[in-house]
Chain A
């Protein structure tokens, strides 16, 4: 189990024929928690479809390009079950077809502060003005047409030309969001003999009062029975001096350097953000092991006692053992194998119940003590919140005066974690710093028998000894935690290595 490579799925051109070249053979990531700055993988270069993970995710919170934040529905669609999204294409308008350009704004409806669009009388033969109310009911105004120009290209890398226009007549004004009846305005139009990609729409706008906000244009192929948007909406245009207002549609080739914020694997309708759920998902879902191999009591205890927020974007080959080690370091627990074949995610617990063996002078076949000077660290650096794009971490650093002054140590303990929160990373650094400020006291002793089914990492022993390198020169019922247990069938004895309980986690 520990040597199993994760993630288990990879990008390939059989499954994704139009996969971007750099991704062929790369692992499809596993995502936990709220992850920022993910660079998605394009799995369909024609449809501009991108994939974020190899499993369902809870949400895509934001998608950014170099210069703007994209809007759901307007700029992209999502498929959370596949952890994918598609950037909407530049609207392509077919020949000899009627479409509708719709102008909308985000300022509040106001009789005093709103916009006016220039309109002519019924000067355009192939369409008419529509007003759309706050219930999305369309009403044709056959007596008027907007003043508009629609520019386009027959190919995306071709030359932009004016394809459709209504630009002759005596102008009057029509209000936009001056009343509920005019929540949006639309103008139908008909394309010519050749289809084209719509690249820009021009309309003429003036202000009445001082509206503030943004405007956007979309092109619809139908409105009756549900509005059908063609491709992407235009980029947003801020309300300013107005006049001739140009609304540009994004060209596909302009979408580059995408960056995404997501919420990863979910459990019971919410994203997994704690270590217990992450561990359970890794073992049961990613590795396909039976849920029963995780000791339920220990798992519940782990969930209760380690509520720190974690996040992980596993986008490079790692063994489960490597991931587990990083998670253990993040949350100060150990996944201890028990004698019945199950595993207990064990967290340090204060000594409350007398359930351990207590050894005395007559039990020891041998006995030695050691202060592990090599474990002393002066500076503790906890790395957290990894940026998936550049693999850089934030760092919380704590310095120990005791390690530096009393022991003369300047060594640094560098801990890479899955933690996501500043305060929790600082608290973890403080915990490690306190633990490694002094040399851990280790005892190695040998006893008869096969170790009483003791489990290293989980079980503790109490030691009493007349002579010992301890305060007062003796041990009297001092609690130690077992870190290593060696059973010796040849001598029917067991060697136990344990560490002073207060110096363990």
Chain B
């Protein structure tokens, strides 16, 4: 979609996509069955992860696991993961082959929280009707023209509805701070590919109230991976 001032009254749909992390170093990992004992699995009711990352505590080195198409490939490749959709299990093969819950690692899985200002299905995924688009704060981008140099950017916040307390336990169970958040809009009925990206950055602090949760938006340069 191309922005057209003449079409400002068209029926727009707003999307917010947030990629929280689940900390898995203390989760109930189980060693894989015979033949797959270098892999460990954990129940992952959040669905298929978007990414899995590891931090080796002794060195602080962070690496991203490679997704594998089968458990056998996961078994034969360190630093990889496999999604068992039938059983909602995440299999992981750590960089050393050690148990992920053995105290050597920090391990995060990431997944997408998809919300919109109405119930829509896009790209094969349902969006929860929890977004309050009127509350999205101003986003400003500014290039300084004087000798001080630098680019100044400021960001508002993304507010989502919490009337049914969807976020209550999730804010404690998952890490939203410092995680990617994308805001898009498009015309109702358009394909996902036609949606325009308004903001692609990172969430900052979170504020919870009975009826709403606010994700502050951070300068993306601060968290660029």
Q: How far is the CB of A360 from chain B (nearest CB, A)?
A: 15
Specify which chain A residues have a CB less than 8 angstroms from the CB of B172 in the assembled complex: 469-473
Say whether B88 faces chain A, with CB atoms less than 8 Å apart: no
In the complex, B191 has a CB within 8 A of chain A: no
Chain B residues near A373 (CB-CB < 8 A): 177-178, 204-206, 216, 218
Task: Confirm or deny: B130 has a beta carbon within 8 angstroms of a beta carbon on chain A.
Answer: no
Are the CB atoms of A439 and B177 closer together than 8 Å?
yes
Looking at B36-44, B65-73, B119-127, B161-169, the stretch in contact with chain A turns out to be B161-169
Please encode chain B, from 192 to 225, with 1 for each CB lying within 8 Å of some chain A CB and 0 for all others. Answer: 0000000000101111111001001010000101
Q: Are A406 and B21 in contact (CB under 8 A)?
A: yes
Given A406-B23, A407-B177, residue A371 in contact with residue B205 (CB < 8 A): yes
A126 interface hit (Cβ, 8 Å): no
List B42-94 residues whose CB lies under 8 Å from chain A: 53, 55, 57, 60, 62
- Most chain B CB atoms below 10 A, which of A401, A409, A472: A401
Interface string of A456-468 (1 = CB under 8 A from B): 0000000000011
Assess whether B106 is interfacial by the CB under 8 Å rule.
yes
Q: B171 an interface residue at 8 Å Cβ cutoff?
A: yes
A367 sits at the interface (CB 8 A): yes
Taken together as a complex, chains A and B put the C-alpha atoms of A439 and B208 apart, in Å, by: 14
Task: Please measure, in the bound complex, the distance between the C-alpha atom of A394 and the C-alpha atom of B197, giving whole angstroms.
Answer: 48
CB distance from B221 to the nearest CB of A (A): 12
Inter-subunit contact B210/A367 (CB<8 Å): yes
Asked whether A404 is an interface residue with its Cβ less than 8 Å from the other chain, the reply is yes
Chain A residues, CB < 8 A from B210: 367, 467
- State in angstroms the CA–CA spacing of A370 and B210 once bound together: 12
With an 8 A cutoff between CB atoms, is B98 at the interface? Answer: no
Q: Is the CB of B108 within 8 A of A405?
A: yes
Contacting pair B178 A407 (CB below 8 A): yes
Contact with B along A360-399 (1 / 0, CB 8 A): 0000000111111110100000000000000000000001
Known: A401-B60, A402-B106, A408-B178. A469 touches B168 (CB 8 A): yes
Within 8 A of B (CB), among A91-113: none
8 Å CB contacts to A: which residues of B152-168? 165, 167-168
* Cβ–Cβ contact B60 & A399, under 8 A: yes
Q: Bound state CA distance, A439 and B62, in angstroms?
A: 21
Nearest CB of chain A from residue B101's CB, rounded to whole Å: 16
Tell me whether A210 is interfacial, beta carbon within 8 Å. Answer: no
- Checking B168, B173, B218 against A467 with a beta-carbon cut-off of 8 angstroms, the contacting residue is B168
Tell yes or no: A474 within 8 A of B by CB.
yes
Q: Please state if A467 and B165 are interface contacts (CB–CB under 8 Å).
A: yes
B208: nearest chain-A partner, CB-CB? A469
Give the chain A neighbours of B209 by CB distance below 8 A. 367-369
A471, B173: Cβ atoms closer than 8 Å: yes
Tell me which residues across on chain A come within 8 A of B218, comparing CB atoms.
373
Report Cα–Cα, A14/B9, bound state, in Å. 82
Give Cα distance in the complex from A376 to B176, angstroms.
Answer: 13
Question: Which residues from B are CB-within-8-Å of A371?
Answer: 171, 177, 205-206
With A376-B177, A470-B172 known to touch, is A406 a contact of B106 (CB < 8 Å)?
yes
> Once bound together, how far apart are the Cα atoms of A404 and B62, in whole Å?
9
Q: How far is the CA of A192 from the CA of B53 in the complex (A)?
A: 91
Q: Which of A438-452 contact B (CB under 8 A)?
A: 439
Name which residue of chain A comes closest to B202, CB basis. A408
| Residue of A with least CB distance to B59 | A401
Interface residues of A in 341-370 (CB under 8 A from B): 367-370
- Does B31 have its Cβ within 8 Å of any Cβ on chain A? no
A368 CB contacts on chain B under 8 angstroms: 207-209
Q: Are B205 and A439 in contact (CB under 8 A)?
A: yes
| Across-interface contacts of A402 in B (CB, < 8 A) | 106
Judged by a CB distance under 8 angstroms, whether B187 is at the interface is: no
Q: Across the interface, do B208 and A409 meet the contact criterion of CB distance under 8 Å?
A: no
How far does the Cβ of B16 sit from chain A's closest Cβ, in whole Å? Answer: 18
B168 touches A474 (CB 8 A): yes
- Measured between beta carbons, the chain B residues less than 8 angstroms from A367 are 209-210
B160 → chain A, closest Cβ, in Å?
Answer: 12
A24 to B169, CA, bound (A): 64
Q: List 9 A-B contacts (CB under 8 A).
A: A369-B171, A370-B207, A399-B60, A401-B106, A404-B62, A406-B108, A439-B177, A467-B165, A473-B165
Q: Which 8 pairs show the lowest CB-CB distances between chains A and B?
A: A473-B168, A373-B205, A469-B208, A405-B55, A473-B169, A469-B171, A408-B178, A369-B208
B-binding residues in A (CB < 8 A): 367-374, 376, 399, 401-402, 404-409, 439, 467-474
Apart from A369-B171, A373-B216, A376-B178, 12 more pairs, CB < 8 Å: A367-B210, A368-B208, A370-B206, A370-B208, A401-B57, A402-B106, A404-B60, A405-B108, A467-B210, A473-B165, A473-B172, A474-B168
